[in-house]
Structure 1
Amino acid sequence: MLLQVSDPHFGTEKPEVCAALRRLAQAEQPRLLLLSGDLTQRARPAQFAAARAFADSLGIAHRMVLPGNHDLPLFHLPLRLFAPYARYRRAFGPAHDALSDVDGMRLIGLDSTRRWRHSDGELSAVQIAATAELLRATPADTVLKVVALHHPLAVNRDTERHNRVRGHREAIARWREAGADLVLGGHIHLPSVRRLPDGERTLWAVQAGTAVSHRTRRDAGNSVNLIRAGRTHGRRVATVERWDYRAADDRFELAALSALPLND
């Protein structure tokens, strides 16, 4: 089981929501943690330290961490130009593409940030091609093939189309053909599950909301995703659970469950 925590924006976090998320992790016991970017609000050392301490406190055995655009310094221009990932690296290690195989799930993580872009994300042709090769080389006993990045591959609202990662069309075509099942993203703080059209194979775009920040959208509060994979009667099965923080009960509660049909 994978826990996707996106856009916590440490520096703007709510302590009570952080505590509730720790309780959820303890109750559900996910094996793999995905931090899908915007760990901090302004890429300051204290914010990175808080993000790292929080990730450690979840007690999850395996972890993949991806940077977001907020994790590059905005106002410190020399640092942004010459060492944009220095503070990120001190807290979480090198910002690079990653691969994890845990409990029948192959997770491929991609760095979609670019130092020369303030907000927009980008996938290079090399990243898209290398990811397709990793998808094709997935071990035979893998149940679920997942690609993750900070910026969305697809969105549900026309007003958010400008936030799609550059290179999204080629990525969708190449990764669908190579066998991807899910593509996970964040950035826009709007959770959603969407089946991508115009292809023979089924490919799902799964977006996460902001996990613990007060920077919520008017119609979307704090939330995280739990993703489970398995087999039922020999067929692959994936479920995406959206867990929302409910202030009245001071806890994360299951708010939506999507059972996703997959190609065999």
Structure 2
Amino acid sequence: MVAILHGSDLQFGRPYLPGVGAAFAGLVRSTDPDVVVVSGDLTQRAKAREFVGVKKLLDECAEWPLVVTPGNHDVPLYRFWERLLDPYRNWRRTFGPDLDTVVRVPGATVVALNSSAPRRAIVAGRLRRRQIHFAEEAFRSTAPGEARIVVTHHHFVPTADGEGGRTLPEARGLLREFRRMGVDVILGGHVHQTHLSSSLDLSPDERPGVPLVACGTTASRRGRGVESQRNSLALVRVAPGEVRVTSYFFESGSGAFEPSAEWTFSPDSDAWTRLRAPGEVGRP
């Protein structure tokens, strides 16, 4: 089993909550995952000082393998010429030149695909054919029985309340490609609330489904819908034939992220099943 601590939408800048960010780093240390994933929108306005701040936070977790991917907030919105000519300048200075990355840990291959599209679809995002080929090549050397995990920022399946706006263009076809590759789970953010779905929501006849886990905003004031003014993340465990998710919410009383509820997804059920309700889950 591979354990992934999955946060998203830190949005370092004006909306960022330093105490909650510190609690995120603390949870990394206490859960000791195999890999840490932050699925985009690490900054609020892609400013150099915001990248410096978020890098300092993530450096507190340097003991663990880290997977990051850009979100639409990680490229300039109002600095038009920078967005047009060099939108990833500050990202690359902070996290390196590659926007699509592969991280291999014992038992898993994690492929992060940059779904931001600063020149065309800055909010809704986009994945390109070359990125699908990139993922396919990365998984080609993944051993049988090892987990195959994809990370993007933007979401594929609409939320029930419509928060998060439009999904990725051609989402159904993209999920079909990931299913063909044998992907075990897709992690993302953007919608600012916990959202569990699967490829079956778009293609109900194409079984088994690929589960998707969208994380809420982990450390900003910008929670949406049922998670308005709340901060969340997920501990995702991937084993052969099962994906198990424990959601965590920041509690101001304890100043820490506390486990809330637990779900599982398996090919046998092809649906998310809640194992424990909020308040019934103890710390791992």
Aligned equivalent of 1:107, options 106, 110, 128: 110
The answer to whether residue 247 in structure 2 is matched with residue 242 in structure 1 is yes
Aligned equivalent of 1:151, options 150, 154, 162: 154
Tell me how many residue pairs correspond in the alignment: 258
Cross-structure match for 1:44? 47
Q: Distance in 2 between matches of 1:151 and 1:80?
A: 19
**TM-score of the pair, normalised by structure 1:** 0.91
Q: Distance in 2 between matches of 1:240 and 1:136?
A: 26
Shift of 1:132: 3.7
Q: Distance in 2 between matches of 1:115 and 1:178?
A: 28
Q: Distance in 1 between matches of 2:83 and 2:159?
A: 32
Unaligned runs of 5+ in 1: none
Contact conserved, 1:185 with 1:208, CA < 8 A, in 2? yes
**TM-score of the pair, normalised by structure 2:** 0.85
Q: Distance in 1 between matches of 2:164 and 2:79?
A: 29
C-alpha RMSD of matched pairs (Å): 1.8
Amino acid at match of 1:6: S
Aligned equivalent of 1:35, options 34, 38, 41: 38
Cross-structure match for 1:217? 224
Cross-structure match for 1:7? 9
Amino acid at match of 1:213: S
Unaligned runs of 5+ in 2: 269-284
Cross-structure match for 1:128? 132
Cross-structure match for 1:227? 236
Amino acid at match of 1:224: L
Shift of 1:61: 2.0
- Residues 142-192 of structure 1: CA deviation (Å, up to 9, x unaligned): 1x2211100001123262474211231111111112211211111110212
SS for the counterpart of 2:162 is helix
Contact conserved, 2:223 with 2:231, CA < 8 A, in 1? yes
Higher deviation after alignment, 106-115 or 124-133: 124-133
Amino acid at match of 2:151: A
Q: Distance in 1 between matches of 2:61 and 2:103?
A: 18
1:218–1:249 distance in 2 versus 1, CA, 3 Å: farther
Contact conserved, 1:184 with 1:205, CA < 8 A, in 2? yes
1:14–1:106 distance in 2 versus 1, CA, 3 Å: same
Q: Distance in 1 between matches of 2:20 and 2:241?
A: 33
Q: Distance in 2 between matches of 1:256 and 1:103?
A: 27
- Residues 221-240 of structure 1: CA deviation (Å, up to 9, x unaligned): 1011111233xxxx543211
- Residues 193-223 of structure 1: CA deviation (Å, up to 9, x unaligned): 1233121222101100001011112421101
Q: Percent identity?
A: 30
- Residues 26-61 of structure 1: CA deviation (Å, up to 9, x unaligned): 111112111211111111111000010011112442
